[in-house]
Every structure is written in structure tokens, then in C-alpha cells.
């Protein structure tokens, strides 16, 4: 079998490894000067916005909800198809996820359905820029302004994406990023919150480090039962190196995505993702395959691709179909037909900057071969 091609792989060079090693040798490896430098660099990248780093994109979302004023019993509009964290964080702050279906090709929140889902208890809309394809920001913020609700952008996939020439996170209400290894840049684990006015920045600081405050003499008080979400200097040093290369990573991802469209677009085997424009950072390339019609299961397809050395991911299930959300009143999965179909049919093909053009052709050849021999 040929060398295995995973669906995602971080791009970390030897210089970055040496930079991290220097931090390890310094003896100061928890939050310190490199966290401050990384936050400053992210702020510059995002046009001067306030930025705070945390330990994950999930932590960023949970803290952002609290800092935006979402409280127990509030409703938060969430895409019915996303990673489970999108709904989990809402539940963790005591709020209720209000699921709305997604568009079939963009996989983004269907904004046409959002106004009808806004009730007096809804406090925020939390869209996902799926795979790095920006949601229609003008339409989103028009809806939010009309109904007086907050916007917390789940930009876990979207570091490096732009909307009409402006970086996601450089404008709007609140945006939360993930730096997990399968994202466009990584700090191993980590995330960030970018925000403008109307966000309780003191609450963010308290939430990410135990609710501690110190007076001028260094005396400690705890004014809130905060968490422990501060990023390490080790992670921040890697983040600095990754951020320097992010534009190059993004450009290569776009080239690879375009190659997939060239290879699959004439006679696609299923439903291709929305192509978007040059603002799409292409964190993933997902394809919908009608497994019921093909006479094979997704697990069989993944196994067959794996036998040909191709790793295939699944992003993501329909959240209302998951056990933790299945029993919420009036939240049955059949109410979200696009999310349910994506949950059944989605497969994620390999996409990362160090892939060669020939790797894309190899993936597509393997895909066609598997589908041709499915019976």
C-alpha cells in the first residue's frame, strides 16, 4: 500500500521546533511573555482588535457567551450541523441551543430561517464559518440588529478567511478561533477570542484564570469561580511561528481546493461544497455521497479508501440526532433535513498545505475506483 495520506496534518517546520525548544529551555513555559507577544500579533493580524488567547476554541466559545451576557435560560441560535462543541458550550453556560438548519452546499447556517427562530428569550446567534467559508456577514448582522441579539461567530475553521476583503474577526461583535492541529494554524491545543465593544473583558480575564485579582501589593482575591483556560508560552511560541506562515498556508489550501474542483467538478460523484471566493481559507474539503443509492455504507467507503492509503474524515453529524440533544423538546432531527442529510452523507477528503498536486489526483482516482467497485 502507498504511504498513508491523512485528511489533515499540521505543518510544523524545524525552525518552529527549535523556537519551542528555546522556550522549554528558558524555564518559563506557562503564560508569560510569548503569550503577550502572540496576542499582540493576533491583534495586529486582525486589524487592531482586542484578542485574548485561551486553551481551546471550545473554551473561547464558552467564555465568549458569558462575556456577551448570555445567562441561564437564554436561547442561543446554533447550526443544526456542526461539531458538538457548538451546542455543548451553550448548555454549559445554562442556556438552551435553538437549532436552525444549514444550507446544503455552504453547510453554513441558513440565514433565511433565523428570524423565525428568534423568540424573546433568544440572546445570541452563534453561526459557524464552516470549513472557512464566511457566513454572509451583512445579512447576519442586519438580522441581529433588527432583533437586538448578540453575534458570537464560531470561527474555529476561519483563521485567515476574509469577507469582502476584511479578515474574519477583524470586525463585528465577537469571533472565536481554534488552533487545534487540524486547523489552518496550530498551537497544538489553543484558541482565541477577538472582540470589539460590548464585551466584558474583565470577565474574560477572570474566567481564564480562576477569577483571581491582585492588588498593587500582590495580595490575591477571588471574585468569581473562574476556570483555568490560560494558554502556555510553549503553545504561544508555536502560534507566533504559525501566524507568520498563515497566509502561505491559506494560499496553498486554496490551490488544492481548486484542484479538487477541477478533478471532481465536471461529473461530481455527489454534492460538492460551495466554492466561495478568494476569501475562503479552506480548512476542509467535504463531499456528500448518497450512500443509500450507492449500495454501500460510509464505514465501507472509509475502509476502502483506507486500503488505498487515503484517510477520510466525517465532519459533522446533525447535532439534534445526538443523544445529549435528542430529547430536547421539539428538537427532533427530521426538522433539519439538510443537517440530517449532511450528517448521513458527508466525507472529508485530505487537505493540508504540504500535499502535492499529485496527492489530490491520487485521492480523486481512489474515490472513483472505490465507487466503481462498490458492489
Length in residues, the chain:
375
Give the integer Cα–Cα distance in Å for 300 and 286.
17
3-state helix, strand, coil in the chain (%, to 5): 40, 15, 40
Active-site position among 37, 146, 183, 228: 183
Residue with cell string 477520510: 312
Answer whether 281's CB lies under 8 Å from 250's CB: yes
Q: Is 183 an active-site residue?
A: yes
Scanning 162-297, the segments in alpha helix (DSSP H) are: 201-208, 233-264, 291-294
| DSSP secondary structure letter of residue 280 | -
The number of CA neighbours under 13 Å toward the Cβ of 2 is 12
The grid cell for 119 is: 423568540
Under a CB-based contact definition with an 8 Å cutoff, are residues 358 and 15 in contact? no
Please provide the DSSP assignment of 13-63 as one string: -HHHHHHHHHHHHHS--SSSHHHHHHHHHHHHHTTT-EEEEES-HHHHHHH
| Residues marked as catalytic | 183
Amino acid at each position: 500500500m502507498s504511504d498513508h495520506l491523512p485528511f489533515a496534518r499540521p505543518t510544523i517546520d524545524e525552525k518552529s521546533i527549535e523556537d519551542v525548544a528555546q522556550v522549554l529551555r528558558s524555564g518559563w513555559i506557562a503564560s508569560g511573555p510569548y503569550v503577550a507577544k502572540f496576542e499582540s500579533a493576533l491583534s495586529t493580524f486582525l486589524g487592531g482588535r482586542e484578542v485574548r488567547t485561551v486553551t481551546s476554541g471550545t473554551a473561547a466559545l464558552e467564555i465568549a457567551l458569558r462575556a456577551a451576557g448570555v445567562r441561564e435560560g437564554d436561547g442561543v441560535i446554533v447550526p443544526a450541523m456542526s461539531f458538538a462543541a457548538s451546542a455543548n458550550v451553550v448548555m454549559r453556560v445554562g442556556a438552551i441551543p435553538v437549532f436552525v438548519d444549514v444550507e446544503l452546499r455552504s453547510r453554513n447556517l441558513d440565514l433565511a430561517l433565523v428570524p423565525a427562530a428568534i423568540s424573546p428569550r433568544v440572546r445570541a446567534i452563534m453561526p459557524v464559518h464552516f470549513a472557512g467559508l464566511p457566513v454572509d456577514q451583512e445579512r447576519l448582522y442586519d438580522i441581529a440588529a433588527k432583533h437586538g441579539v448578540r453575534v458570537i461567530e464560531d470561527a474555529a475553521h476561519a483563521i485567515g478567511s476574509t469577507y469582502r476583503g476584511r479578515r474574519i474577526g477583524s470586525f463585528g461583535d465577537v469571533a472565536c478561533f481554534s488552533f487545534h492541529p487540524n486547523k489552518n494554524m496550530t498551537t497544538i491545543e489553543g484558541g482565541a477570542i477577538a472582540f470589539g465593544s460590548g464585551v466584558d473583558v474583565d470577565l474574560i480575564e477572570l474566567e481564564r484564570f480562576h477569577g483571581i485579582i491582585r492588588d498593587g501589593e500582590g495580595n490575591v482575591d477571588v471574585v468569581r469561580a473562574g476556570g483555568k483556560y490560560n494558554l502556555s508560552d510553549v503553545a504561544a511560541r508555536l502560534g507566533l511561528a504559525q501566524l507568520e506562515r498563515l497566509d502561505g498556508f491559506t494560499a496553498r489550501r486554496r490551490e488544492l481546493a481548486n484542484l479538487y474542483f477541477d478533478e471532481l467538478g465536471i461529473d461530481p460523484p455527489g454534492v460538492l461544497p460551495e466554492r466561495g471566493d478568494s476569501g475562503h481559507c479552506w480548512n476542509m474539503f467535504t463531499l456528500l455521497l448518497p450512500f443509500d443509492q450507492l449500495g454501500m455504507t460510509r464505514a465501507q467507503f472509509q475502509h476502502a479508501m483506507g486500503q488505498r492509503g487515503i484517510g477520510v474524515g466525517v465532519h459533522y453529524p446533525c447535532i439534534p440526532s445526538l443523544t445529549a440533544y435528542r430529547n430536547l423538546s421539539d428538537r427532533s432531527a427530521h426538522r433539519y433535513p439538510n443537517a440530517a442529510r449532511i450528517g448521513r452523507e458527508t466525507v472529508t477528503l485530505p487537505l493540508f498545505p504540504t500535499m502535492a498536486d499529485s496527492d489530490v489526483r491520487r485521492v480523486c482516482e481512489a474515490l472513483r475506483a472505490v465507487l466503481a467497485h462498490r458492489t
